[in-house]
């Protein structure tokens, strides 16, 4: 299967994003970044003392997929849970600032919002490097009532949507049981990003795992073996009964597979010297889902997702790709393609 690019068609898909609605059922995570300048070495222990300079909290996990869809101009309806705590409050404030509806997000007392705190250090006028990450997670799974309310809200939203995105980071707000409870959805695409149990989501439309997740699911080592990579893609398609699949491969780009077609390798867009891969998978599935919802083919959706992934890995921290940036990426690739033809 040969990679083809209809740049005019890709622009039309991106331009149609504001007419698309996507429901996201996912684990809402608070990504906290604490920045400090290196002051001195502590006398108490052989560690650096950082002078606090800044703190930001942005949506991560399923919340980052929501944020990416919003920045692409898509009408997004999030469903999930946060705690009645500061990180949960800050997440909801982030959504409100982008005019994202929050009625589908439950606020639970006694439930700690999943929070991933990254401590970054640097000198004045130098780049900041992550030195440690601290994760705060709920100890208990969500109760049956909460899961049922998630499913009810998701079913209601999805019936008025063009696609359903499942973002399962393993914290309980997005599970195979919840998807089964949601039931049939009138043929809209259902896309999946599941960190630990994607093989349990049999019958979803599409999935976007990264290569290590594929290796873990199938208990196989892929490495640079193209034949094994293609086997793994076809095996996931078979086991999960998928219509399409993207395997993201870092600086090796991605592999797109569609039912009854050979796997299609897509080279990385932009510079392979990435700055930060935090949240790039959320950007990929958000863009891929938006494109499918807008009527794109698997190849078209994969190309757009590849552009978006290439954009965000050149940004620091949990980032998004905007609709304007995506359009600019299409133009850049179009110019590069013309140069290749001229040569």
List, by residue number, the catalytic residues.
Answer: 282
C-beta neighbour count of 255 within 10 angstroms: 22
CB 276 within 8 A of CB 315: yes
Torsion of CA 208, 211, 214, 219, to 10 degrees: 180
CB 163 within 8 A of CB 191: yes
Alpha carbon of residue 277 to chain centroid: 11
Cα gap 193→309, rounded to integer Å: 15
- Region of residue 32 (left: phi > 0; alpha: psi -120 to 50; beta: else): beta
CB 53 within 8 A of CB 84: no
> In angstroms, how far is the first alpha carbon of the chain from the final one?
23
Within 159-273, residue ranges assigned H as helices are 176-182, 211-218, 226-240
Within 125-220, residue ranges assigned H as helices are 144-158, 176-182, 211-218
β 206-207/244-248 pair status: parallel
**Exposed/middle/buried for 192, CB within 10 Å: 0-12, 13-18, 19+?**
buried
Those residues with Cβ within 8 angstroms of residue 230's Cβ, 6 or more apart along the chain or in another chain: 255, 262, 263
Cα gap 91→178, rounded to integer Å: 23
Which two structure tokens, joined as six digits, stand for 25? 């059922």
CA angle 146, 151, 155 (to 5 degrees): 150
Own/partner pairs, 50-55, CB within 8 angstroms, 24+ separation: 50/119, 50/121
């Amino acid at each position: 299967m040969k990679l083809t690019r209809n740049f005019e068609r890709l622009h039309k898909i991106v331009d149609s994003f504001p007419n698309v609605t996507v429901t996201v059922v996912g684990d809402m995570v608070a990504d906290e970044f604490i920045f400090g300048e290196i002051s001195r070495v502590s006398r108490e222990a052989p560690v650096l003392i950082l002078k606090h300079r800044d703190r930001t909290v942005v949506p991560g996990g399923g919340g980052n997929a929501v944020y990416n869809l919003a920045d692409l101009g898509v009408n997004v309806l999030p469903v999930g849970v946060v705690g009645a705590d500061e990180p949960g409050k800050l997440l909801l404030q982030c959504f409100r600032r982008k005019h994202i509806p929050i009625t589908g997000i439950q606020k639970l007392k006694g439930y700690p919002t999943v929070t991933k705190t990254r401590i970054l250090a640097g000198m004045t006028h130098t780049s900041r490097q992550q030195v440690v990450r601290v994760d705060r997670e709920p100890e208990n799974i969500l109760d049956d009532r909460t899961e049922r309310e998630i499913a009810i809200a998701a079913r209601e939203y999805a019936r008025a949507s063009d696609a359903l995105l499942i973002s399962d980071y393993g914290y309980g707000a997005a599970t195979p049981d919840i998807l089964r409870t949601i039931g049939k959805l009138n043929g809209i695409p259902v896309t999946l990003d599941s960190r630990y149990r994607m093989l349990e989501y049999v019958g979803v439309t599409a999935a976007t795992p990264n290569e290590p997740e594929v290796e873990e699911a199938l208990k196989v080592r892929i490495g640079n073996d193209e034949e094994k990579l293609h086997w793994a893609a076809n095996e996931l398609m078979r086991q999960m009964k998928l219509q399409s699949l993207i395997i993201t491969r870092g600086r090796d780009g991605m592999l797109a597979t569609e039912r009854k077609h050979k796997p299609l390798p897509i080279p990385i867009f932009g510079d392979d010297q990435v700055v930060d891969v935090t949240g790039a998978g959320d950007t990929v599935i958000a863009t891929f889902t938006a494109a499918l919802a807008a009527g794109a083919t698997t190849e078209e959706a994969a190309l757009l997702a590849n552009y978006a992934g290439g954009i965000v890995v050149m940004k620091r921290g949990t980032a998004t790709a905007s609709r304007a940036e995506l359009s600019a990426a299409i133009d850049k690739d179009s110019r590069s393609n013309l140069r290749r033809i001229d040569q």
